[in-house]
């Protein structure tokens, strides 16, 4: 799936064809020529996205064994399995850009590629399962729906599959919280406490403000991103406020209010120093998440080796069975 | 972390959504052999009744047209407009045609 390097005289023609495809909002496909920075940006973004899905299995996986009913356990299992599936769709999309699965795994395990900072926060109470579905998956949906129209074909197709499934994730979370809000005052307090912890990190999921996001403009020019970080953050706040009211929880932002003039909610500034610290590796669970992922990868090594050995052995058996033999049980 | 660094081959996955439809390409995955590729495809691509039949094909077994050949390969059909029904003018009052 690699393209041969273009000669300088060809390069101009190829660049023009690429620019024309982007300009008419058409898709770039794996074997098309593309500029190196476009390819590198995509590899970084898709890989980071894939890693986020895989690491994202941990915070909720934490509660599978302690889900309060068989119904809730089955839902949570299905959701965590979906996250694994989403990771696999995205790894497959990323590999079409000429990077191998082994490399991507290595980059995650050695911490050289990042995953979404939201997964470095702990899930301290069962209400967090609901809050993650509602706020974290809700923010993810805001980010991901426009990516269904991203300029790189395989990425867009993976996002379409993912978005269809994310809707279940958000709804199960909101329903879980509604159920708890109908429960005891202790349960309602658990929901509020959980929302208080996740609100600001959820807003940070959209990335730094546009003024501090130097690569955004280029990604938008290439059609990789379709909306700016601040636009999507605003959209998420506007969507979430009525949902919080219906649920009966307070969003922990004293500056949050409807602005008639703008037709949007005003809201406070997330703590960008905190986001920078979590990205740097100093979040509450960074070390734990990576250690767990490494251990899972190493613990699974024997399964991968056994499957490889079995496949080799079966291939060998088939070759021997196909070839006429003069030894063993008297030929034929 | 040694033997498993050999990558499993890449398979392309095709799913028939329901009887009467073609198998359609849905994505790809790695698997050690054909049998495991079908199992993985079931888990990765049909968790919600998306299909009634799965094909898996080793990606290296696929021969594709080259993107560079696009013009020579597909251009000849571009000027054969007479292959389309709309090429022919039929009076509006002729029924069922």
Do the chains contact at A85 and B44, CB–CB below 8 Å? yes
pLDDT band of A332, cuts 50, 70, 90: very low
Say if residues A135 and A240 touch (Cβ distance below 8 Å): yes
CA–chain centroid gap for A99, Å, is 18
Q: What's the pLDDT score for residue A6? A: 62
pLDDT of A323 above 90: no
Output the pTM of the full model: 0.90
To test the contact with chain B by mutation, choose from A13, A28, A307 the residue with the greatest count of B C-beta atoms within 10 A, namely A307
Rounded Cα distance, A16 and A9, in Å = 12
**Is residue A200 classed as helix, strand or coil in its secondary structure?**
helix
pLDDT band of A188, cuts 50, 70, 90: very high
Percent above pLDDT 90 for chain A:
88
Residue owning tokens 């922990």: A252
Of A92, A298, A310, the CB nearest to B1: A298
Q: What's the pLDDT score for residue A213? A: 85
Q: What's the pLDDT score for residue A63? A: 96
pLDDT of A27 above 60: yes
Rounded Cα distance, A227 and A163, in Å = 17
Within 8 A of B43 by CB-CB distance, chain A residues are 81, 85
What distances in angstroms separate CA A139 from CA A103, A104, A207, A232, A329, one per listed residue? 29, 25, 11, 9, 66
Q: What's the pLDDT score for residue A327? A: 55
Range A15-19 average pLDDT: 94
pLDDT of B97 above 80: yes
Q: Sign of dihedral through CA atoms A103, A144, A163, A122?
A: positive
Of B3, B10, B29, the CB nearest to A305: B3
Of B6, B48, B67, the CB nearest to A31: B67
Q: How many CB pairs under 8 A join A and B?
A: 58
Q: What's the pLDDT score for residue B3? A: 42
Of A32, A92, A301, the CB nearest to B1: A301
The pLDDT tens digits of the residues spanning B44-81 come to 999 998 999 999 999 999 998 877 666 777 777 778 88
Range A149-170 average pLDDT: 94
Range A105-115 average pLDDT: 95
ipTM, interface predicted TM-score of the complex: 0.86
Within 8 A of A92 by CB-CB distance, chain B residues are 27-29
What 8-state DSSP symbol labels residue A14? H
Burial of A117 (0-12, 13-18, 19+ CB in 10 A): buried
To test the contact with chain B by mutation, choose from A26, A80, A101, A298 the residue with the greatest count of B C-beta atoms within 10 A, namely A101
Do the chains contact at A82 and B47, CB–CB below 8 Å? yes
Within 8 A of B44 by CB-CB distance, chain A residues are 85, 88-89
Which of the residue ranges A160-169, A287-296, A320-329 has the most confident prediction, judged by mean pLDDT?
A: A287-296
Within 8 A of A85 by CB-CB distance, chain B residues are 43-44, 47
Q: What's the pLDDT score for residue B69? A: 62
The 10 Å Cβ neighbour count of residue A164 is 12
The pLDDT tens digits of the residues spanning B8-21 come to 999 999 999 999 99
pLDDT of A40 above 70: yes
pLDDT of A167 above 90: no
Percent above pLDDT 70 for chain A:
95
Mean pLDDT estimate for chain A: 93
Which string of DSSP letters, residue by residue, matches B2-60? -GGGSPPPEEEEEEE-STTS-EEEEEEEE-SSHHHHHHHHHHHH-TTS--SEEEEEEGG
Range A87-113 average pLDDT: 96
Comparing CA positions, the residue from A177, A161, A83 lying closest to residue A127 is A177
Range A174-191 average pLDDT: 98
pLDDT of A201 above 80: yes
Of A101, A165, A305, the CB nearest to B30: A101
The pLDDT tens digits of the residues spanning A222-276 come to 999 989 999 999 999 999 999 999 999 999 999 999 999 999 999 999 999 999 9
Q: What's the pLDDT score for residue B4? A: 46
pLDDT band of A10, cuts 50, 70, 90: confident
Range A82-89 average pLDDT: 96
């Amino acid at each position: 799936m690699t393209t041969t390097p273009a000669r300088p005289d060809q390069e101009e023609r190829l660049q023009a064809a690429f620019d024309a495809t982007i300009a008419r909002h058409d898709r770039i496909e794996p074997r098309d020529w593309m500029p190196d920075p476009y390819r590198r940006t995509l590899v970084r973004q898709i890989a980071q996205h894939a890693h986020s899905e895989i690491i994202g299995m941990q915070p909720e996986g934490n509660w599978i064994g302690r889900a309060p009913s068989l119904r809730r356990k089955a839902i949570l299992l299905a959701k965590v399995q979906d996250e694994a599936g989403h990771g696999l769709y995205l790894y497959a999309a990323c590999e079409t850009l000429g990077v191998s699965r082994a490399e991507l795994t290595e980059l995650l395990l050695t911490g050289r590629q990042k995953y979404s900072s939201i997964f470095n926060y702990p899930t301290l109470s069962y209400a967090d399962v609901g809050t993650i579905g509602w706020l974290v998956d809700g923010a993810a949906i805001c980010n991901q729906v426009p990516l269904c129209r991203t300029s790189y074909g395989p990425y867009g197709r993976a996002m379409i599959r993912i978005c269809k499934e994310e809707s279940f994730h958000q709804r199960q979370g909101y329903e879980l919280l509604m159920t708890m809000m109908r429960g005891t005052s202790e349960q309602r307090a658990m929901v509020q406490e959980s929302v208080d912890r996740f609100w600001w990190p959820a807003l940070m999921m959209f990335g730094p403000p546009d003024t501090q996001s130097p690569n955004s403009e280029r990604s938008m020019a290439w059609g990789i991103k379709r909306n700016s970080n601040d636009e999507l953050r605003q959209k998420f706040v506007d969507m979430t406020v009525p949902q919080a009211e219906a649920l009966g929880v307070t969003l922990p932002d004293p500056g949050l209010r409807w602005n008639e003039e703008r037709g949007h909610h005003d809201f406070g500034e997330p703590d960008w120093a905190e986001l920078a610290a979590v990205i740097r590796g100093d979040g509450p669970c960074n070390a734990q998440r990576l250690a767990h992922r490494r251990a899972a990868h190493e613990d699974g090594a024997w399964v991968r080796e056994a499957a490889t050995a079995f496949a080799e052995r079966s291939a060998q058996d088939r070759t021997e069975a196909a070839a006429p033999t003069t030894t063993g049980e008297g030929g034929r | 972390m040694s033997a498993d660094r050999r990558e499993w081959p890449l398979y392309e996955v095709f799913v028939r959504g329901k009887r009467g439809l073609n198998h359609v390409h849905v994505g790809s995955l790695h698997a050690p052999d054909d049998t495991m590729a079908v199992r993985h495809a079931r888990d990765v691509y049909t968790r919600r009744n998306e299909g009634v039949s799965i094909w898996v094909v080793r990606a290296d077994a696929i021969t594709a047209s080259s993107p560079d050949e696009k013009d020579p390969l597909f251009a000849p059909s571009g000027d054969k407009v007479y292959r389309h029904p709309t090429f022919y003018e039929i009076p509006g009052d002729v029924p069922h045609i």
